A = this chain, B = another copy of it.
Amino acid sequence: MRIITISREFGSGGRELGKRLADQLNYRYYDREIITAIARESDLDSNYVENALEKPAWQLPTLTFRQSFATPVLFQDTQVDLLTTQRKVLQRIAAKREDCVIVGRNADVILRAYHPLSIFVCADMEAKLIRCRERAPQDENLTDKQMIKKIKEIDKNRAKVREMLTDEKWGDRRAYDLIVNTSGWKIKELTPAIADFATRWFGRT
């Protein structure tokens, strides 16, 4: 079984690369499905789950849909539970023994025993800004400055969540097999290069 994990900076095109890689290599693709599975098992709303897993505990919003007057301690408990459930969901995916691409969720750390090819996707801020603009909801009216702030915050949170699970730093070269900067690439054109790399990586003697 071959697992490719993709960690990525917000706006770098990592998700698109993951999808296209899975298509080209004929692997299963996991991304939102993981959130949905965790939400189902935890009996929580999937937006809440996604939010909780992308942010350090102290930034979590109140768990209003349960109408609880939850304390910060309770939030943290929920988050720990979610991280545990996430681990189980990822282990279950790996146990299927099907070739797959998993985007996000620190799958490279959690599934390390399966020796995934772990890829980190980054891009220059200018390129990320353009990508975010293209994908922004119609009603989002952020200035460039606000957008840059948003991008940086999301990445900072991803880094913090990762550091709950491992000593390795998010985005540090020592933690990945390949880091690719997508600036100047069309993801569609980049995909065969990475697919080729992956095929050779799994075929190493």
Point out residues on A near B: beta carbons under 8 Å: 120, 122, 124, 171-174, 176-181, 183-186, 189-190, 192-194, 196-197, 200-201, 204-205
Contact = CB atoms under 8 A, between A and B. Distances in A.
A193 B194 CA distance: 9
Contact of A196 (B196, B201, B204): B196
B184 A181 contact: no
A152 to B, nearest CB: 13
Contacts of A172: 173
Complex copy number for this chain: 2
Q: Describe A's contact surface by its main secondary structure.
A: mixed
Contact of A176 (B171, B176, B181, B193): B181
Given A171-B173, A173-B122, A178-B178, A184 B204 contact: yes
Nearest to A172: B173
Q: Can you list the 8 inter-chain pairs with the closest CB atoms, starting with the nearest? A: A179-B179, A193-B200, A193-B197, A173-B179, A177-B181, A196-B196, A122-B173, A171-B173
B178 A181 contact: yes
A184 B192 CA distance: 22
B177 A173 contact: no
A197 B190 CA distance: 8
A95 to B, nearest CB: 24
Given A177-B181, A189-B200, 13 more contacts: A120-B173, A122-B174, A124-B174, A171-B173, A173-B181, A174-B181, A179-B179, A184-B204, A189-B205, A193-B196, A194-B197, A196-B196, A197-B197
